[in-house]
Structure 1
Amino acid sequence: MQDQIFLIGNLVIMAAYLAIMVAIVVPLVRAGQLISNKLATATALIFFSCAVGHGLHAAITWAYLAAGAHAGHTAHNGAPFWGWASAVWDAVTAGVGVYYWTLRRGYGILLGPGAMYLDPFGKNRLDEADARERAARDIAEAHRATLAAVVEHSVDAIIGLAPDGIITAWNGGAERLFGYPAGAVLGKHAVMLADEDGADHQEDVLTRIRNGERGVAYETRRLRSDGTPVDVSVSVSPILDHRDRVIGISAVARDVTAAKEAAERQRAIQERTQQAQRMESLGKLAGGVAHDFNNILAIIANYTEFAIEETAGTPGVQSDLTQVRTAVERATNLTRQLLTFTRGDAIQPRDVDLNAAIAEVRAMLERTIGAHIDLITAPATTPLAVHADPGQLNQVLLNLAINARDAMADGGTLVLEANTVTLDGEEVQMQPPLPAGTYARLLVSDTGEGMPAEVIAHIFEPFYTTKPVGRGTGLGLATVYGIVTEAGGSINVYSEPGVGTTFRIYLPLAEAGTSAMVPERQAAPPGGGRTVLVVEDEVALARIVTRILTGNGYHVLTAVSGAQALELFGAHEVDVLLTDVIMPEMSGRRLAELLTERRPGLPVLYMSGYSNGLLGTTHVLDGDITFIEKPFTAADLLHKLAAATRHSYSF
């Protein structure tokens, strides 16, 4: 009976050890730490070996019991060694079990589902590793939050796109640049930001990125939510996954409108400086030639007179010498013009009334200009005095008038005007530039052939002419330039082929100190959010006008043609129209007629490089319109626009 109890005890202990081993191994396998958690694995092996030992002990005991029953005695009495061995083995394994359960209870190991056997040192290492991992996750999360804040508050527009061009991300810079809130663009194609030409180019860029290009940078034009164009510099890059496949596209857009305006202004200043330097060099050369040539002409003229006296009885020779004398006189006039251009001729400046000068020139032109030219003069409302040589001032008006006559072979209108104007010193189309102040202004306008930009760039150079051989010397406008600059003034030229030309001559007023002071002027009232539709086919000028009006509180819609203006007018509420007069396809007057038919009483302000006097006499505009001449200052534009708005809403 004792042997049977011993056998059963071994089997029970074996089962208990196997259960403990399974309780350790199963969580290890589930956590994937059967190999890495060496301490827990070793503990499981100990319990496994204990279970195997008790199993072998039970098997041997059972075998002796079976053999003893066959031999007629008990296995226990026949094998006293195994009894002592079993006792020792049971004591050892019992101690191991007590040690295991002590660790479990004392250190809280193997707690909860899936936990595993760990010693305190190993647990501390894992806790430290967990702390480091949590700290790393916190740092990464803070980095992502900082990066997201940088992206959101960037001045540049940062846009995320799917590979097919669908907008997936839209930061605050994009909202400020294009005017769309994120909810209005997410899920839509980026083609909504481009015009027809820009859409084709945009699709080409997306295709290049999808085909493997790592980045594309370019400048283009995009459209804001209100339809106004904006010049942007765009950088497009692919977003790649771990296999270098394109899973998205990032686009960074920056508003370069102001930078382009600054570059254009700088280019104009450089051209103006180069023009002044070129004119100065040409003046020195022409002056030297004129003086030397005058000496030669004096010799020719005197010897010609001597020969005429000596050949009094030879009519044929006399006739030939008379032709020589005539040629000498013409050459003398040319050198006089050269000396005037180079300021080398003697002048006698005094106070001259421009109204009187215009009247005197009109009297001369009426006899010579021809019946096919309609001559109109518009003197200033009050006497307008400048300090200049009277003869030279008349020469300026006559030269410009004769050029205008030659440009109107089939007839036209010539307008001579005088008035005052205030400059802010920032005009870039003046030759040479003038400081801020109030000046007298002469305008000579015609409806002739006009001139392209490449001709205007050279018209004040000596001997430059577009007239046929024998019709002009190329010194007329060079002389005008010399006279005006000698008097401390400047010239502005505005011309369009097939339309006409306007010369503006700016001269200091005769009153002491007047030209150096800008009179105080009341600030223009703010726009108050009113919407202005600006129609100007010259893109650079349209940008400047938009910038002026936006800075004074107006909301601006910009169109470069009458057709585009009609579309914008139909899509937006417009409070006032500011349009150029002369434009391709549709004139400003025709555009205003179409818009006022839709909305009677719409305020309209016209602008043009031609004078109001010329446009009115040619019936391009009516006499009672609100009009501003180019070039204009910001203050002039704002006051004119405010006046046009007040006039319209006063009815």
Structure 2
Amino acid sequence: MALFTVFPTRRNSFGLKFFVLFAVFIAGISLSFTLLFFHYQRAALEENMTGEGLLLARLLAYNVRLGVFTENSELLKDPIGGILQHEGVLFVTVVSAEGTLLREEAHPSVLKTPERGFPHWSTRFGQVRKTSAPQVFQGSDTYEFWAPVVSTAQFTSTESLYLAAPSHETTRITGFVRIILDKEPLRIKLKALLLKSITLASVFLVLGTVFTYVIVRRITRPLNRLTEGLKKLERGETFEPVLVESKDEVGRLASAFNHLVETLQAREAEKEFLAEELRHAQKMEAVGTLAGGVAHDFNNILTAIVGFGTLLQRSLKNDNPYRIYVDQILIASDRATTLVKRLLAFGRKQVINPRPTNLNDIIKSIEKLLARLISEDIEFRISLADEPLICQVDTGQIDQILINLVTNARDAMPGGGSLTIATRSEYLDEDFFGPVEKGMPGRYGIISIADSGIGMDEETRARIFDPFFTTKEVGKGTGLGLSMAYGIIKQHEGFVTVETSPGEGTTFHVYFPLIQAAAAPETTEFVQVGRGNRETILVAEDDKAVRKLAKHILERSGYEVIEAVDGTEAVKRFREYAGKIDMVLLDVVMPKQNGQAAYEEMKLTKPDLKALYISGYTQDIINRKGVLEEGFNFIAKPVNPYELLAKVQEVLSQ
């Protein structure tokens, strides 16, 4: 009945199969052990009996030397009597060397069983007299031992007799002795041995079976609990940890199962968290994509406003009453331009000019500006790494990151405090990065901005990089500062982490990949804007206002302008005036044919044709569409008229 409780489903029970298999295995071992034990013990008993018989024969031959030599049977009586007293000795015979029977006696038990016969001594005599060594002959019920009787003792002492160490003196055989031993004592011992072996095997089998049962019980009971636990998990029920009763393998298995379930539950929670993080990342990416998509139209509009406004501003005298209106228009345009740039920076769509730069040098160059941004009641400290931290970054963009983070830190300390900017390097392996946001393992330069301000709770920290999210009062923040910083960092293949808690301050860690290169020296090129020398420029722009602005600016500066509304018309107009055109000003993305494709067709006619690209699309959109190769002359909208003239003059002078 106990087996049924351990193996409730007997046919398909792993425990029952294991128990039967192991029980058969133990039974096989027990049987093998019994047979092997019995075999070796039987051989040992037989060897002991033959050894004892040979010893008795040698002893008798030694003691009857004188009686055989004198052929006096009375002298043989005592030695033979002594031998007959040994257990199992049935018959003793002494014969002379010539074959004369000197004396023959039987054990009293033999006399009581006259029907029991023994082979006559003459049967073996002819075979025995040919050798001087003792002989053993085995029958069905008896052992027959023969030993020669010599005139001189073969053994120098009694000890040598027992050790069977004959002397080397010359001897002469005077007779032979024969002893017949009964096998019955051997059979009795073998029966006892067999019974002992069976008993040992049975004990071993019983103990092994009980041991197997205990082991199987210890295994199957936790396994049954594990199975029940799995079924509960499948049904979605509450899982109760499996009881760990021991520290052995089974106990460790139960502990591992409990840990597995806890891990699965934790991973489910983490999965929900990661799904939320992914949705957040997708939302951020969607906003960035939207920002990049609308930038083209915004920048075309702003280009016309800024361009015509600047021309109007330059045409009015300072005392003109309308000058103030134009100034306000340009100020609003500048704010709109900054807003678009911030949106593009958040969406990682901003055009950047990265160069190998030491992060320490960037902080040193902007240190005074940052110090002026904070109030006097804030202690400002800078701690820079001793080693150079060379990264591929755009210096101006890193300045924007620092300005935004320092400004936020200042606003988080209305009552004063401390602000520390520190740099260091660190090697980051794959384990450092999260499952949603992966990074490349390697050495990173780190800028840490730590304040002792009011800090943030977890809900606020999770949203600080969302565009237009701000905790400041209305009118005191646009909610784009950290969003812009986040976008710039991502565009530089870096990442940012935040450590904060309410009342404990906030620390931003900004990571940029380090590179093996020397920092590029800072150079500032001043381009003198002059008048043209009647060079002819083909302007291809699909936006009418921007096209008119470009024509007006260039014609006022001494250039001749040919207009085209798209890429196809630009190629057509170029073929009409190929020998006259010195340069082309092409919008990158236009209907029918983009600027790059149009330029490639024009180069077939004039390989050395100079070109300047202009676009309200961002650099990464242009690259993704495959219409602008890196290294081409490019200027981004919105563009100031004088910046456009300077860039045109630069391209013409190449």
User: Shorter-chain-normalised TM-score: which range?
Assistant: 0.3 to 0.5
Give the TM-score normalised by the residue count of structure 1. Answer: 0.40
The higher relative CO (CA closer than 8 Å, separation ≥ 6) is in 2
Give the TM-score normalised by the residue count of structure 2. Answer: 0.40
Structure 1 or 2, whichever has the larger Rg, is 2
